[in-house]
Amino acid sequence: MADLIRIAQVEELGQDPVLRRAAAPVAGAGQVLVRMRAAALNFADLLKAQGSYQEPSDPPFVPGLEGAGEVIAAPGDSGLTPGDRVAVLAPGTMAEIVAVPAAGCLPIPGAMDFAQAAGFQIAYGTGHLALDFRAALQPGETLAVLGAAGGVGLTAVEIGHAMGARVIGVARGAQRLARVREAGADEVIDSETCADLKSALRDLGGVDVVYDPVGDSAGEAAFAALRRGGRFLVIGFAGGRQPVLPLNHALVKNIAIHGFYWGGYHQLDPAALRRSMARLFALFEAGRLAPVAGHGLPLERIAEGYGLLRDRKAVGKVVISL
């Protein structure tokens, strides 16, 4: 009988994943076999389970888009050997062993632990490529980050600070805002008590770049606070509604609106992804980035992780140990 491993599985759209046992995978041609040690949850995982993600999966499926572990076996031309520590970027990482394309495995710095590496690529990759490559954020400019306490938002605060920007973090509640300040925010705004986000941002001098994974009325308010020549980064719609942005204002104020989907760069510009990740690892090794798992849960409690995302209670990344 084939060895059995534990996996999480979404068996019905609209339901949280459940724990199951399945046969261990066998690596196919060009694939690397990895013993997973940790995997991160992203908001996209929640959307996939709801059936509302732009790249849907039909149930049953194993969730997870990224993680980290140790190589068990690898093709000779992959540059990987058994025991290598790698970050994994591929669907289905919520399993004890995965078989993934060699291109989905990236060696990680020696000082980076598995929990850090598990949630590094998507959150930090999104923040850095969006802010550097798309928005061309400059030292001394003002960056407003919406949803700043979430996994993607918190890394954008940290990266914006590392790039020399003045960072305004917008998040809900004093405890979450304290974490946003720790990540490098110069100013914070409590979205729970702020009645007029547009005025609050303007009172702080206005904004050059908006990083918006929230959308909804918060995105509309932040857009209205942009200075002339500002840039608006459309990252996602965690608030539940796409913001309605007045294009006449974009025209008159020379505002650029950038739609940004990090995963799409694997086809659009993979070289830009590689340059960005190399820069991020260099920043990590220089001590300028300090990824921290906001919530660590064992695989059998993965449904709690989905609840944290759904209720917008996550501070930083939700990392599942394997």
Do 155 and 200 fall into the same domain? Answer: yes
Could you tell me if residue 188 is inside a domain? yes
Which domain covers residue 206, as residue numbers? 123-263
Instruction: Judge contact between 210 and 232, C-beta under 8 A.
Output: yes
- Total domains, the chain: 2
Q: What's the pLDDT at 293?
A: 65
Q: What are phi and psi of 48, to 5 degrees?
A: -65, -40
Do 101 and 155 fall into the same domain? Answer: no
How many Å apart are CA 294 and CA 142, to the nearest integer? 26
Could you tell me if residue 274 is inside a domain? no
CATH number of residue 40's parent domain: 3.90.180.10
Three-state DSSP state, 236: coil
Q: What's the pLDDT at 302?
A: 97
Q: Is the pLDDT assigned to residue 94 strictly greater than 90? A: yes
Could you tell me if residue 156 is inside a domain? yes
CA nearest 294: which of 175, 159, 190?
175
CA nearest 213: which of 103, 130, 293, 138?
130
How many Å apart are CA 74 and CA 153, to the nearest integer? 35
Boundary residue ending a domain (247, 263, 279): 263
Do 131 and 185 fall into the same domain? Answer: yes
CATH number of residue 191's parent domain: 3.40.50.720
Q: What's the pLDDT at 1?
A: 36
Could you tell me if residue 157 is inside a domain? yes
Average pLDDT on 192-208 reads 97
Q: What's the pLDDT at 56?
A: 86
Do 233 and 298 fall into the same domain? Answer: no
Do 131 and 106 fall into the same domain? Answer: no
Do 150 and 101 fall into the same domain? Answer: no
Q: What are phi and psi of 283, to 5 degrees?
A: -65, -40
Average pLDDT on 124-152 reads 95
Q: How many residues does the chain have?
A: 322
Could you tell me if residue 105 is inside a domain? yes
How is residue 168 written in tokens?
Answer: 């305004």
User: Which residue in the block uniquely carries the two structure tokens 């490098």?
Assistant: 184
The mean predicted confidence, pLDDT, of the chain is 94
Do 149 and 223 fall into the same domain? Answer: yes
Could you tell me if residue 277 is inside a domain? no
Of 2-6, 46-50, 76-80, 257-261, least confident by mean pLDDT is: 2-6
Do 102 and 209 fall into the same domain? Answer: no
Q: Give pTM, 2 decimals.
A: 0.86
Do 187 and 315 fall into the same domain? Answer: no
Do 78 and 107 fall into the same domain? Answer: yes
Instruction: Judge contact between 52 and 38, C-beta under 8 A.
Output: no
Residue ranges of the alpha helices (H) in the chain?
43-50, 114-118, 120-128, 151-162, 174-182, 197-203, 216-224, 247-252, 265-268, 270-285, 302-310
How is residue 223 written in tokens?
Answer: 């857009």
Do 69 and 145 fall into the same domain? Answer: no
pLDDT band at 220 (very low <50, low <70, confident <90, very high): very high
Q: Is the pLDDT assigned to residue 107 strictly greater than 50? A: yes
pLDDT band at 36 (very low <50, low <70, confident <90, very high): very high
